[in-house]
Amino acid sequence: MTPFSSSQNRLNAEFLTQRDQGDRSRTVILFLHGVTRCWQTFTTLMNSLSPRFIPVGMDFPGHGASMRLERYLVRDHVDALIQWLREDYGSLTGRNQLILYGHSLGGMVATAVAAELPGMVEAIVLEDPPFDAMGQQIKGTSWQTYFAEVRKYASLECTQQHLYEELTDMRWEDPSSGKMIQLSSVRDEPSIRFMARCLHQLDPNTMAPIVSGDWLDGYCLERLSQKIGCPTLILQGDPTAGGTLLDRDVELLRSSNGQTVVKQFPQAGHLLHQVRLTEVMQTVSLFLESFAVPELRK
């Protein structure tokens, strides 16, 4: 991986491979991860697209190798990325346009950036962004109890191996049933090991506004959706299997932008790029090849 060496805003962003750094013939796709994770969650998906595009991964504030903030509303992540795109992106990549791929938090940020920088964002891919489901509606749900528990493990002063061992036994309550859920019953060992790697670098305060229900303060999907006009692909998880994107939010985005297409994943939850990787790769590739990208016309 090749990091950008001089970002004024201290957001960690990296080319997938060193040879991509000087390549001006392909379009950049910036990958934006979900809360508690880091950009390496996308490495397999990024590799699948690299023959045609230049993948760049970025860590949000408080995650991975990026700066920490005093507050972590979704809007704060949006503002940090917009500042980086305006001040650093052009000089670091030699470009003024890009495609955004965002999972969860990353999808909400990509939506806002596409609305606010329409001349810069050529297309967006939104992987199961929760929108209102992670606002005030989170209260009394298993997502709220999950993040409250995960927060206890962020940036613990212990080895990554010890953190992994602790996470395998992590439990939280499902308020709807009163039953306890154990992490190792819903995620396999490699996934938990990667989770430990992410949490080892994570600011626990990133989850504070999620647990309190204030995460979406200052973020209005209805207003943003009216300003998006670029090609948009929505990847929707199954709410009965842990997906978070509500049908009404899908319809809001679709009705506001005629260039929106939707792919649903029955019986698949929130981490689609992990649990349905092959199908996600095929879907994203077809979508990206379906519209004209300036660099590809040369």
pLDDT in tens, 47-105: 999 888 999 999 999 999 999 999 999 999 999 999 999 998 988 888 899 999 999 99
pLDDT of 173 strictly over 90 = yes
Question: Are the CB atoms for 265 and 236 separated by under 8 Å?
Answer: yes
| Residue, of 267 and 296, whose pLDDT is higher | 267
pLDDT reported for residue 294: 52
Q: Is the pLDDT of residue 296 over 80?
A: no
- 2-135+218-293 falls under which CATH superfamily? Alpha/Beta hydrolase fold, catalytic domain (3.40.50.1820)
Asked which of 17-26, 76-85, 167-176, 245-254 is least confident by mean pLDDT, the reply is 17-26
Asked whether the beta carbons of 223 and 234 are under 8 A apart, the reply is no
Q: What is the pLDDT of residue 16?
A: 81
- 3 pLDDT higher than 90: no
Place of tokens 């949490």: 199
Query: Is the pLDDT score of 153 beyond 50?
Result: yes
* Average pLDDT value over all residues in the chain: 92
State percent of the chain over pLDDT 90.
Answer: 82
Identify the pLDDT of residue 4.
Answer: 47
Q: What is the pTM (predicted TM-score) of this model?
A: 0.93
Q: Where are the domains of the chain?
A: 2-135+218-293, 138-210
Dihedral sign, CA of 223, 225, 226, 230?
A: positive
Q: How many CA atoms lie within 13 A of 36 on its CB side?
A: 21
Tell me the C-alpha distance between 136 and 204, whole Å: 20
pLDDT higher than threshold 50 for residue 298: no
Structure confidence at residue 111 (pLDDT): 99
What pLDDT does residue 2 have? 45
Q: Given pLDDT bands bounded at 50, 70 and 90, which one contains residue 133?
A: very high
Q: Is the pLDDT of residue 292 over 60?
A: no
Q: What is the pLDDT of residue 1?
A: 42
DSSP state, residue 22: G
pLDDT at 297: 41
Mean pLDDT of 285-296: 74
Please give the average per-residue pLDDT across 128-141, as a whole number.
95
pLDDT of 9 strictly over 80: no
- Give the pairing type, strands 13-15 and 2-3: antiparallel
Q: Which helix (H) or strand (E) holds 194?
A: helix 189-200
Beta strands in 151-214 (DSSP E): 171-174, 179-182
Percent of the chain with pLDDT over 70: 93
Query: Is pLDDT above 90 for 166?
Result: yes
Tell me the residue type at 84.
W
**pLDDT (mean) for 255-267:** 96
